Amino acid sequence: MRLIPVKQALSMMENAATTKSEYRKITFLTAKKDRSLSLEHDESGVILREQGYQDESTTFAVTAETEATHECKHAVKQAFKREFPRSHKVYVSAVK
């Protein structure tokens, strides 16, 4: 795990929301590691998991450039701002 700035983490997360992502699973954690946000690719699409303020899991059927891809990116931005409202740096764990 490494510590990276929030702006870099948000752009990594948005890129991971597409089908062309190089990561199978990417997870972001706060400094205290009590809140996390992860994005995982599987056969059905992309799974967005939040643990912290809200504990929920959402699945998006992401294919090439579809409407679901835009919905997924929007959901990622909203979840990121909700889980890391005052963070300047986050821990990242990525699996290729």
Range of the domain at 86: 2-95
Q: Which residues pair with 72 in a beta bridge?
A: none
| pTM for the full predicted model | 0.84
What CATH number is associated with residue 33?
3.30.1490
Per-residue CA distances from 11 to 5, 29, 43, 44 (Å): 10, 15, 24, 23
**What torsion, rounded to 10 degrees, do the Cα atoms 71, 52, 42, 58 define?**
-40
The per-residue pLDDT for range 83-95, each reduced to its tens digit, is 888 889 999 999 9
> Average pLDDT over the chain, rounded to whole?
87
User: How many structural domains is the chain composed of?
Assistant: 1
The per-residue pLDDT for range 1-17, each reduced to its tens digit, is 899 999 999 888 888 88
